[in-house]
Amino acid sequence: MKNTKLSKNKLYTLIALVVLLAVLAFLEVNSAEYSYQISILERSAIYAVVAVSMNLLTGFTGLFSLGQAGFMAIGAYIVAIFTIPVEMRDSVYYVSGISPVIANISLPIPVAILAGGLAAAAVAALIGIPVLRLKSDYLAIATLGFSEIIRAFIAAPMFDTITNGSYGLNNIPGFPGIISVFALAALCIGLMLLLINSSYGRAFKAIREDETAAESMGINLFRYKELSFVISSFFTGVGGGMLAMFMRSIDSRTFQVSLTYDILLIVVLGGIGSVTGSILGSFLVTGGRELLRFFDEPLAIAGVSIPLFRSGFRMVIFSILLMVVVLFYRRGLMGNHEFTWDGFFGLIRSIPGRFKRKPALSKKGGEEK
């Protein structure tokens, strides 16, 4: 019986993957016609990588960090600096020029993305030594401050020949297609999922549940916190590099605090401690904002202009919808659970029953009327 259920789950997963690949292949072939939809899906996949990496730290290790935008900036600038074609760099660094140290260094895109992740991880290893001794809100404030320091360094005039300061970087090579974006995102999320289900992941969860009990079991708290922080920052840096390739042009304003809040929103909406919840949340949040874009356009009915339909009203509606969702799903859409086919089909079967009217009971004897 158990083997039959396992075989069915594998079959459903295989069918879902085939359908997904077919949809992605169709979009790639018709990229000119569906460029807008492709851009939404690509951004969602990139945010999913960063959201899962944040969940690895916050949901599975219990460390509340708000430095994601800073680590994304490190990965993005490493990728941008070393992948812009050498012949185009003079036109990019047209104000202060480019440092001769990096002027002729060009890296293949996979190597540059890996280097961006490693650079973010190296910085995380350094700042993790002091900040990981803090807890709760203090850790969040410290990492948030670090994120702003990174932005300040990027825009500082002394680094203009490297980061191009406030002018930003453009002519960044893009992804060859939507399939490559999803493949890289799937690889990153798959690696994090393997880590979460390993002995290291169990140590992370033990620290999340009770640090004192975990330490009494022989778990080195600082070592595993540092490891979780570094790994999370690595994949965040990779996500930043992917975002740079997606946008093709970046500057320090791309990585404001609001970007971290967007990722945190995705994690909370999907469910803290759920990988599939973070993936679902990234697509819902990114797609939801775009689907509601018509609220930003002026609307007139019978010649009467509706005053609410104006620029920015979309975010008001989006925020109200989020509040409604949070009221009904206080632990997020998935809570701390993962997607299962049994749960999915059970949800489908339960929908008709929710709309059936329950028979009224009489006050005497509880008989049906």
Q: DSSP string of 116-173?
A: HHHHHHHHHHHHHHHHTTS-HHHHHHHHHHHHHHHHHHHH-GGGHHHH-GGG-B----
β-strands 299-301, 304-306: how paired?
A: antiparallel
**pLDDT for position 123:** 95
From CA 172, how far away is CA 170, in angstroms rounded?
A: 5
**pLDDT for position 369:** 44
Q: How many CA atoms lie within 13 A of 85 on its CB side?
A: 7
Of residues 185, 231, 245, 176, the one with CA closest to residue 46: 185
Dihedral sign for Cα 96, 102, 106, 110, please: negative
**pLDDT for position 106:** 92
From CA 73, how far away is CA 88, in angstroms rounded?
A: 22
The pTM of this model reads: 0.88
Phi-psi sector, 164: left (phi>0), alpha (psi -120 to 50), beta: left
**pLDDT for position 230:** 96
pLDDT averaged over 10-residue windows placed end to end, the chain, 369 residues: 71 90 93 92 96 94 91 96 92 88 92 96 94 85 92 89 90 93 96 94 92 90 94 96 95 90 90 92 89 68 62 72 76 83 78 60 50
From CA 87, how far away is CA 103, in angstroms rounded?
A: 10
Residues 6+ positions from 289 with CB-CB distance below 8 Å: 314, 315, 318
CA distances 128 to 65, 70, 204, 231, 255, Å, are 11, 14, 16, 12, 20
**What's the CA angle centered on 89, arms 49 and 158, to 5 degrees?**
80
**pLDDT for position 292:** 75
Of residues 147, 66, 126, 119, the one with CA closest to residue 237: 119
CB atoms within 10 A of CB 122: 14
Of residues 211, 70, 240, 49, the one with CA closest to residue 153: 70
Residues 6+ positions from 132 with CB-CB distance below 8 Å: 63, 139, 222, 225, 226, 229
**pLDDT for position 309:** 64
Of residues 20, 27, 63, 25, the one with CA closest to residue 267: 63
**pLDDT for position 360:** 53
**pLDDT for position 359:** 56
